[in-house]
């Protein structure tokens, strides 16, 4: 353990950084040889597991052959092959791929592409992005501006672009106090009010995580939500950006989470699962209607990043995606997700502090509550999720937590997003450690 200056890593925890030394399968090991079950795949990143030698070999081979050629002048083989592979897995019509090194960069590039699309169409006043409260799209200024994370926003407010936000779909804590289906999906139609309020001629795009990630905790919208969002965007000539940085490349049991619904985005952001953490890599995938408009207009995009299409990162992404296809890991993610969700649900019913288990595939969340039957959340000041995460760490398991609902800073959830190779026995261990951690953190601490 290395002493850490300043704040704590995960809330109430010991104030030291563990030093990660090796990874194998679903486990990480620190330099004292202590084993940790990686129940969140790093940060919803690792899909194929740690320490897969064939990926390391593909990267080393590429580095020996060609480590870098400027993206201003060149493309390279793994970049072309990976772009083709991405095209074959994204929904129909998404044809053009621009590589980045991270999810935040993909979010920035998507904003610029949305802006350029409207400029090419001679609608220069369209500049606003509408996002959702309780969302996360990255740590760079533009991405924080689109995001609806109140704490991040409050720190940076003076620098942020003037985005607008609508409520996240959150049936268990409906921000409109309605019930589905009699609500007529008010959380989607509320976008119309936001567009009208902003001035519809000024709105460029709407961005959403198809299934929420860390901040909202594997939140799924009600049936019909994305179909309604798609038709509102069409009606107002607004682009729909799906942030699949967490969900892309299989995590929810489909290649892309939006494929659970009948709505095709104009731009898709992806990153984490693309190279499963073996290299920094992200991408924006662009629908032909946007790409064609730009091609038929000025004909060039002014996106310039030194490491776009980096040969070694693309070689890692290609090797990871081939490995996923060879071992049918997306199907495995779907079936292991069903198994784990069932086991977590059983655990939740037996626990005094679990109000809901939700999510799809291996993007699951366990919602904690002080009094689940009466819908009473833990007050934020009790730092319930941080305490559970800390107890799990003591027991040799890595978790992530989030807090707050659409209407309150109170409320806690624990994210479960292990690598797709998790076995049932490892899943059982995960559930047992989580149950112990919740009991230790909340029974004793409450």
Q: Which C-beta is closer to ligand PMP: that of 188 or that of 363?
A: 363
**Nearest residue to ligand PMP, using CB?**
103
Q: Do the Cβ atoms of 71 and 314 come closer than 8 Å?
A: no
Q: Which C-beta is closer to ligand PMP: that of 102 or that of 355?
A: 102
CB of 347 to ligand PMP, least distance (A): 26
Per CB under 6 A, residues contacting ligand PMP are 102-104, 107, 136-139, 209, 213-214, 243, 245-246, 271
Q: How far is CA 311 from CA 78, 81, 106, 279, in A?
A: 6, 11, 18, 11
CB of 132 to ligand PMP, least distance (A): 11
Q: On the CB side of 66, how many CA atoms lie within 13 Å of its CA?
A: 14
Token duo for residue 12:
């109430």
CB of 330 to ligand PMP, least distance (A): 19
Q: Which C-beta is closer to ligand PMP: that of 130 or that of 294?
A: 130
Q: Which C-beta is closer to ligand PMP: that of 11 or that of 139?
A: 139
- What does the H/E/C string look like for 104-128? HHHHHHHHHHHHHHHHHCCCCCCCE
Q: Which C-beta is closer to ligand PMP: that of 136 or that of 226?
A: 136
CB of 241 to ligand PMP, least distance (A): 11
Phi, psi (deg, nearest 5) at residue 367: -90, 130
CB of 108 to ligand PMP, least distance (A): 9
Between CA 144 and CA 15 the distance in angstroms is: 27
Q: Which C-beta is closer to ligand PMP: that of 135 or that of 351?
A: 135
Between CA 299 and CA 120 the distance in angstroms is: 9
CB of 77 to ligand PMP, least distance (A): 25
Q: How far is CA 342 from CA 137, 332, 366, 410, 433, in A?
A: 30, 15, 12, 26, 16
Between CA 66 and CA 82 the distance in angstroms is: 16
Q: Which C-beta is closer to ligand PMP: that of 103 or that of 418?
A: 103
CB of 138 to ligand PMP, least distance (A): 4
Query: Left (φ > 0), alpha (ψ -120 to 50) or beta: where does 15 sit?
Result: left
Token duo for residue 189:
């139609």
């Amino acid at each position: 353990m290395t002493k850490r200056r300043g704040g704590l890593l995960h809330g109430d925890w010991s104030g030291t950084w563990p030093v990660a030394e090796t990874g194998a399968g679903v486990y990480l090991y620190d330099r004292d040889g202590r084993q940790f079950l990686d129940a969140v795949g790093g940060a919803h990143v690792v899909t194929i597991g740690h320490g897969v030698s064939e990926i390391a070999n593909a990267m080393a081979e590429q580095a020996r052959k060609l480590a870098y050629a400027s993206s201003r002048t060149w493309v390279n083989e793994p970049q072309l092959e990976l772009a083709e592979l991405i095209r074959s897995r994204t929904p129909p019509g998404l044809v053009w791929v621009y590589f980045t090194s991270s999810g935040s960069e993909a979010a920035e590039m998507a904003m610029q592409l949305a802006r350029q699309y409207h400029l090419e169409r001679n609608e220069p006043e369209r500049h606003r992005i509408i996002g959702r409260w309780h969302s996360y799209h990255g740590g760079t200024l533009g991405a924080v501006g689109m995001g609806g994370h109140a704490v991040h926003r409050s720190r940076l407010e003076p620098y942020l672009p003037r985005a607008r936000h609508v409520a996240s779909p959150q049936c268990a804590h409906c921000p409109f106090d309605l019930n589905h289906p009699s609500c007529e999906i008010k959380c989607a139609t509320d976008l119309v009010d936001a567009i009208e309020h902003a001035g519809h001629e000024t709105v460029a795009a709407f961005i959403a995580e198809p299934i929420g990630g860390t901040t909202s905790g594997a939140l799924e919208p009600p049936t019909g939500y994305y179909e309604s969002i798609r038709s509102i965007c069409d009606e107002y000539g607004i682009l729909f950006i799906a942030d699949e940085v967490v969900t892309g490349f299989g995590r929810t049991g489909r290649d892309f989470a939006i494929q659970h619904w009948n709505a095709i985005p104009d731009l898709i952001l992806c990153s984490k699962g693309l190279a499963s953490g073996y290299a920094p890599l992200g991408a924006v995938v662009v629908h032909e209607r946007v790409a064609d408009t730009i091609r038929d207009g000025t004909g060039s995009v002014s996106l310039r990043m030194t490491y776009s299409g980096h040969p070694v990162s693309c070689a890692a992404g290609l090797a990871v995606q081939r490995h996923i296809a060879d071992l049918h890991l997306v199907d495995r993610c779907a079936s292991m997700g069903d198994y784990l969700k069932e086991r977590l649900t059983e655990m939740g019913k037996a626990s005094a502090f679990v109000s809901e288990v939700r999510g799809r595939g291996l993007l699951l969340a366990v919602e904690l509550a002080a009094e689940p039957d009466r819908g009473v959340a833990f007050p934020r000041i009790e730092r319930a999720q941080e305490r559970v995460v800390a107890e799990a760490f003591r027991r040799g398991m890595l978790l992530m937590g989030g807090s707050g609902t659409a209407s309150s800073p109170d409320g806690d959830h624990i994210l479960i997003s292990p690598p797709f190779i998790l076995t049932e026995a490892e899943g059982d261990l995960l559930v047992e450690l989580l149950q112990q951690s919740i009991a230790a953190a909340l029974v004793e601490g409450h």
